[in-house]
Structure 1
Amino acid sequence: MNIKKRTFGVVGLGNFGSSVAKELQRFGNHVIGIDISEARVANLADTLSQAMIVDARDDAALRDAGFSDCDTAVVAMGDDLEASILSTMNLKLVGVQVVWAKAATKTHHRILKKLGVDRIVHPEVEVGQHIAQILHNPLMRDYVSLGNGFHVVNFRIPVSLEGRRLNELPHDKTYNLRCIGIMRGSEFIGQDGSECQLQRDDLLLLLGQRNDLHSFAASL
């Protein structure tokens, strides 16, 4: 399936902003990155579609930089509260339909919400929580939150389950979890492989709520 390429604007090219901008560019999108730091702009001059020294607190400068043509913009600086708020307001003013923004504090988050930001992110908090979940559950390799308390988790099959069949596991009846399939190296084994014997280090992909997933992990 081909995904339509879009135009993105990234305001602030620090660690977070530059990571977002480079990934969006890698996916083949048109990315405009701006910062007031000449050094940060220079670092991405050969990577992004456009990298410019622009102060987003000036709405005219945003228009001149092409942000009026952006489908989505990301306000990636969180430490400078005034700059973040003014940049967000100006992005709305120049006609950007979808704005994401980084927040540093709860107060910052509330202000951005009042300004109508479409999604507010707390990168350090979210990454910290993600890492803590994986550290807390040694068999958990990674997970994706789907919202409303549901997650997709991949569990590494321990030695104790080696040789068991997938349909013998208690994930569905006891823990109310749905098995999506198994990853065995680069091979995906779907529901039609319910009779397959589990091998050590297989990754079991399960869908369910956090408490049920934790209980299942503890049982292993």
Structure 2
Amino acid sequence: MAHFTVIGLGRFGITASLELIHMGHSVTGVDCSEKIATQYAEELTQTVICDSTDERALKELSLSESEAVLVAIGEDMEASLLTTLHLKNLGVKHLWVKANNAAHHTILSKLGVSKIIHPEEEMGIRVAQALNYPMVSDYIAIGHGYYVVEIEVIERIDNMSLGELLNDKIHIIESLLVKREQDLFPKPNDKFILHSGDILLLCGTRAVLKSLAPRLV
């Protein structure tokens, strides 16, 4: 598994760190607060007390061993930007940074980081999508207007074939996978019979997937 460094152990940073640990990775957590670093010392692979706005201090972290570095500093935009600039100067290639507002995002984009994250906005969008399309358990935007959605098959379409469900959209929606308890059925064809409780992964444009929604509720 990979090793990651997370700078800033607030709610967002520690949540990301613990999830990476849960997935089997190792994580060095970095925070300027001794209290916070000590609090999570038992849960992370390693915690380091460090002022990340000090480039000399960052040099001591062996960042070259990390698959990626996540800057998860909270409301202190100046500290976030200084940290990001120092990490770029130190040659960190895979650099993800949490942005707190539009101005923060604009400056980060000029620094050429790998990924800018807006956790509150992104979660707000996901919640809105879930409220609007309750049949969609989860979704991933894959670019160019295409999405992969996870749908639980309801009782009303039990024993319906995939072809019957998709009907006229069979050629414009890609069926990626059906998960049935512990069994996986990749690339199911139009004759595949769906059972209530199946998890169906579909790929298509937002407009096409949205037009399918009435058949799934």
Q: Mark yes or no: TM-score above 0.5.
A: yes
Structure 1 segments unaligned to the other structure (5+ residues): none
The correspondence of residues 179-218 of structure 1 with structure 2, limited to 5 A, is 179-192=175-188, 194-218=190-214
Deviation of the 1:171 alpha carbon: 5.0
Q: Is the 8 A contact 2:93 2:114 kept in 1?
A: no
Say which SS state the counterpart of residue 120 (structure 1) adopts: strand
Confirm whether residue 7 of structure 1 aligns to residue 3 of structure 2. Answer: yes
The correspondence of residues 52-91 of structure 1 with structure 2, limited to 5 A, is 52-91=48-87
Say which SS state the counterpart of residue 110 (structure 1) adopts: helix
Confirm whether residue 47 of structure 1 aligns to residue 43 of structure 2. Answer: yes
Q: Is the 8 A contact 2:10 2:74 kept in 1?
A: no
Say which SS state the counterpart of residue 170 (structure 1) adopts: helix
TM-aligned CA distance change 1:92 to 1:212, over 3 Å: same
Confirm whether residue 159 of structure 1 aligns to residue 155 of structure 2. Answer: yes
Confirm whether residue 35 of structure 1 aligns to residue 31 of structure 2. Answer: yes
What count of residue pairs does the alignment treat as equivalent? 216
Q: Is the 8 A contact 1:32 1:51 kept in 2?
A: yes
For 1:31, give the aligned amino acid.
V
Say which SS state the counterpart of residue 59 (structure 2) adopts: helix
Of 95, 119, 141, which residue of structure 2 is paired with 1:123?
A: 119
Q: Which residue of 1 aligns with 2:172?
A: 176
Q: Which residue of 1 aligns with 2:109?
A: 113
Distance across 2 between alignment mates of 1:173 and 1:34: 49
Distance across 1 between alignment mates of 2:173 and 2:213: 11
Deviation of the 1:193 alpha carbon: 5.9
Q: Is the 8 A contact 2:85 2:111 kept in 1?
A: yes
Instruction: Please report the TM-score for the alignment, with normalisation by the length of structure 2.
Output: 0.89
Deviation of the 1:175 alpha carbon: 7.4
Structure 2 segments unaligned to the other structure (5+ residues): none
For 1:41, give the aligned amino acid.
A
Deviation of the 1:147 alpha carbon: 1.6
Say which SS state the counterpart of residue 169 (structure 1) adopts: helix
For 2:70, give the aligned amino acid.
V
